[in-house]
Amino acid sequence: MKPEKIKVGVVGVGYLGKFHAEKYSNIPEVELTGVVDIDKKAADETALRFNTKPFYNYKNLFGKIDAVSIVVPTHIHYPVAKAFIEKGIDCLIEKPITTTIEEASDLVSEAEKRGVILQVGHLERFNPAITALSGIIDNPMFIESDRLAPFDMRGTDVCVVLDLMIHDIDIILNLVKADIRRVDSVGIPVISKEVDIANARIEFSNGCVANVTASRISREKLRKMRLFQHNGYISIDFIQQKITILKKPTDTEGVFPKIGENNLDIEKGDSLLAEIKAFIHSVAARTEPPVTGKDGKRALEVALRIKESLNATLPH
């Protein structure tokens, strides 16, 4: 007897939500039960494309699914996610988890109380260039990160810190095992009403410093991170899914060392598919997801701290 498929829904089938629906529709152990959007045309077209049912109110999924991807505007993450959690439905929420710490805390608490899987969609955690870092990172003391993109109206309901920088905040918090001592930031709105370009300097209690830049008004895409640690320098290209390691050879005693360069051979991968498969695995096995609600909350806490520092520099 074949195991019963996990019934999944997608709430919000705009640009990113359609990709969630596509990935679920191609996973054998999943049944894409329905997609939801208040835009009837978007729901109908997506449902037709992926051979599922369209709905126009997320509450119509209650009682029909085991798990859900929530891909709606950030300001309604909280009410939508809480409604599903209260029904005992496992949730994958796109980043950022919510707009406030209070909302994030409540979702984490409710999920724990009800035994619901709560995963936050910090996509770059599943980038092959990040997963390949296991065993390579060793107490980095300086991190420099640049995430630049051309302007797009998507995401402009929040500032660039919550839109783009939060990806790198999450990665840095996962790599640096220390509390934050100080945050300084600067940024400006250029096209949208929210800040479109920002830089933050994050100082950790162990002495590590992270210099993080995010822009959504650049001419070209750039997503790179550089980490400096006692035994070398690591450069990560998220777009190319490439890691370059520069380090001093171990057999150079008495000789001025020549820095060695090593480009890791990384198998290219689909980060969103990996994220969704990890979610489905957690749902099936009832295990903690790779990016928990608590992880999402901590990234939000730092992002809001940066935003608060940033607001202090803006003209009023």
The one-letter amino acid at 183: V
Per the rule left: phi > 0, alpha: psi between -120 and 50, beta: everything else, 213 is beta
pLDDT for the residue numbered 222: 95
Cα 306 to Cα 87, 165, 311, distances in angstroms? 34, 10, 9
Q: Compute the distance between CA of residue 121 and CA of residue 248 in angstroms, rounded to an integer.
A: 37
Q: Compute the distance between CA of residue 201 and CA of residue 209 in angstroms, rounded to an integer.
A: 7
Q: What is the DSSP string of 105-160?
A: HHHHHHHHHHT--EEEE-GGGGSHHHHTTTTT----SEEEEEEE----STTTTS-H
Q: Which helix (H) or strand (E) holds 300?
A: helix 293-311
Q: Compute the distance between CA of residue 206 and CA of residue 77 in angstroms, rounded to an integer.
A: 34
Domains (range + CATH), the chain? 6-123+272-292 (3.40.50.720), 125-268+302-311 (3.30.360.10)
pLDDT for the residue numbered 252: 55
User: Is the CA virtual torsion 9, 42, 195, 160 positive or negative?
Assistant: positive
Quick check: bond before 96 cis, omega within 30? Answer: yes
Q: How distant is the alpha carbon of residue 6 from its chain centre?
A: 23
What's the token pair of residue 246?
A: 């520069």
pLDDT for the residue numbered 255: 52
Q: Which helix (H) or strand (E) holds 78?
A: helix 77-86
Q: Whole-angstrom distance between the N-terminal and C-terminal Cα of the chain?
A: 66
One pLDDT digit (tens) per residue for the chain, 316 residues:
556 899 999 999 999 999 999 999 999 999 999 999 999 999 999 999 999 999 999 999 999 999 999 999 999 999 999 999 999 999 999 999 999 999 999 999 999 999 999 999 999 999 999 998 888 888 999 999 999 999 887 767 789 999 999 999 999 999 998 999 999 999 999 998 889 999 999 999 999 999 999 999 999 999 999 999 987 899 999 999 999 998 876 655 555 556 667 888 788 899 999 999 999 999 999 999 999 999 999 999 999 999 999 888 776 6
DSSP, collapsed to helix, strand or coil, labels residue 36 as strand
Question: What pLDDT, in 10s, does the model give residues 79-98?
Answer: 999 999 999 999 999 999 99
Residue 233 main-chain phi, psi, to 5 deg: -130, 130
19, 272 in Cβ contact below 8 A?
A: yes
Strand order of the β-sheet with 67-70 is 53-55, 30-36, 6-11, 67-70, 90-94, 118-121
Question: What pLDDT, in 10s, does the model give residues 167-190?
Answer: 999 999 999 989 999 999 999 999
Q: Compute the distance between CA of residue 240 and CA of residue 271 in angstroms, rounded to an integer.
A: 12
Q: Compute the distance between CA of residue 265 and CA of residue 129 in angstroms, rounded to an integer.
A: 10
30, 280 in Cβ contact below 8 A?
A: yes
197, 187 in Cβ contact below 8 A?
A: yes
DSSP, collapsed to helix, strand or coil, labels residue 284 as helix
15, 40 in Cβ contact below 8 A?
A: no
pLDDT for the residue numbered 314: 76
pLDDT for the residue numbered 312: 80
DSSP, collapsed to helix, strand or coil, labels residue 69 as strand
pLDDT for the residue numbered 114: 98
Of 209, 189, 192, 191, nearest to 200 by C-alpha is: 209
pLDDT for the residue numbered 229: 92
Residue 58 main-chain phi, psi, to 5 deg: -60, -25
Question: What pLDDT, in 10s, does the model give residues 208-229?
Answer: 999 999 999 999 999 999 999 9
